[in-house]
A = this chain, B = another copy of it.
Amino acid sequence: MSQQQAQQKNKKAKTAITPTREDDFPEWYQQVIKAADMAENAPVRGCMIIKPYGYAIWELIQKIFDGMIKDHGVENAYFPLLIPLSYISKEAEHVDGFAKECAVVTHHRLEEAEGGGLKPAGKLAEPLIIRPTSETIIGESFAKWINSYRDLPMKLNQWCNVMRWEMRPRLFLRTSEFLWQEGHNAFATAEEAEEDARKMVEAYRKFNEDYLAIPLIVGEKTAEERFPGAVATYTIEAIMQDGKALQAATSHNLGQTFSKSADISFQDQDGQNKYAWTTSWGSTTRLIGALVMVHADDDGLVLPPKIAPQQVVILPISRGEENAELIAFCQKIEADLRKKGIRVKLDNSDAKTPDKMWKTIKQGVPVRVEIGQREMDEGKLTFVPRDLGRDGKQLVDADQFVDDIESILDRIQQSIFDRAKTRMLGHIKTTESLAELRQIFEAGEAVQVLIPTDLTKEPEYEAIQNDFSVTSRCMPFAENGEKVLVGKAY
């Protein structure tokens, strides 16, 4: 082994996550999730157990986004898990490319099998499907509930589990069961539906950029990539550190397609009977996968403060025996921070200090505070921001830290966003020709490329899509529909 190799190996050994992003991005992703104790595979293939730390992130996502949609006048409801097969069959007739990977319930009882164990019994007259989406059942309800223009707009959302059988599962990114919100809105006019679909994609943009610190390409799907039956599909595309895109949420203007198939009609002010104009919009636990792949580094998760279950973790560094005075000092700071609404945890467990320290790093805690005897004697503390690591280490007055905590967290939030934005832009190239597009993908110069929209009608464009497994991600709003972002995606 050369000295250089030895140094490199030594350097590599310092990262908490093995392999690194560069070595093996997909495996790094799994290891970050494991090291942060966020989730693990369930015994049923394709399903996952979301552990408390991962679920706490989802709870924050729910809380914040739920507040945003309620401000839009959306109400939550709950529709049943099981959908009659006939509903799905009806839907399948209307929708080309309808997904058929569904969990099917055929029996409603267990009885003792010969030779021990249990076996299915009580065969159902009609099989039932575990909802892959609630489009059909909500459509039927809207048809019943909407009769007059007075009933409009109707804006309903539900937070629930859905199921789509998954052959190549990956934690958070692609699981047979996942958690999501699905919004379904109905309006009296085409204009309101279009405005709403754009409003909801803007809500997703705001939530992802301002809270998850995930920079986005926001735009419209091309006709080929549109949700089946939709007039327009708006999307937020996030770019992972490996350059692949991830569709983080979509908002569909469904026009009258679904209101006609579900018979959602109303008597308008002019006495005429009309079909409603509907939209739907959804986002899922995939967002947590995006958070990991956009922000995490070779030491583990990096969480934007606004979505971190713990924004500050305090570690008392006592040498040897328990130090009641030190603990009391730490508790005082914890209480002061909590009073300011900061999510703070004092880690007073009997684990070893380096283990505790690495836990905060691997879990992406935005600010780690270390307090030893010397700091306490001077009324000070040391803090390390997760985004800068040791380079950002500071010894400050404890009172000052409490006073400044919001601006410390704001700086981290902004810095994480800025870094992600720089990375995102670094993954995107622009070209005006399909020949060059082919060259770029061939040479691996970039994973995402902006090309003129007109070029997507050329046969060569389809050939490129097939040859490099790339797809049209969206026509960015920023380009006024004149360009299409094309690239690999999760």
Which residues in A have some Cβ–Cβ distance to B below 8 Å?
42-44, 47-52, 55-56, 58-59, 75-89, 92, 100-111, 116-120, 122, 127-130, 137, 140-141, 150, 156, 160-161, 163, 165, 177, 179, 349-351
Contact = CB atoms under 8 A, between A and B. Distances in A.
A118 B50 CA distance: 33
A165 B108 contact: yes
Contacts of A116: 89
B75 A52 contact: yes
A128 B42 CA distance: 13
B44 A82 contact: yes
Contact of A177 (B80, B100, B117): B80
Contacts of A56: 75-76
A349 B153 CA distance: 13
Contact of A51 (B43, B59, B77): B77
24 contacts: A42-B80, A42-B137, A43-B140, A44-B80, A44-B84, A49-B80, A49-B141, A50-B78, A52-B76, A52-B156, A58-B78, A88-B110, A100-B110, A100-B111, A101-B108, A101-B109, A102-B110, A103-B105, A103-B107, A105-B130, A106-B106, A107-B127, A110-B129, A150-B351
B52 A128 contact: no
Nearest to A120: B104
A307 B50 CA distance: 29
A34 to B, nearest CB: 13
Nearest to A86: B117
B80 A48 contact: yes
Contacts of A44: 80, 82-84, 128
A309 to B, nearest CB: 10
Contacts of A108: 101-104, 165
A127 B120 contact: yes
A49 B76 contact: no
A153 to B, nearest CB: 13
A83 B47 CA distance: 10
Given A104-B105, A109-B100, A87 B43 contact: yes
Contacts of A129: 110
Given A56-B75, A88-B118, A129-B110, A47 B104 contact: no
B78 A179 contact: yes
Contacts of A47: 80-82
A89 to B, nearest CB: 4
A77 B102 CA distance: 25
Given A81-B161, A85-B118, A103-B108, 10 more contacts: A44-B83, A47-B81, A52-B75, A81-B177, A82-B177, A89-B116, A89-B117, A101-B108, A102-B108, A103-B107
Contact of A118 (B51, B92, B141, B351): B92
Residue among A50, A82, A87, A119 having the largest count of chain B Cβ atoms under 10 Å: A82
Nearest to A136: B43
Contacts of A81: 47, 81, 130, 161, 163, 177
Given A107-B106, A150-B349, A43 B78 contact: no
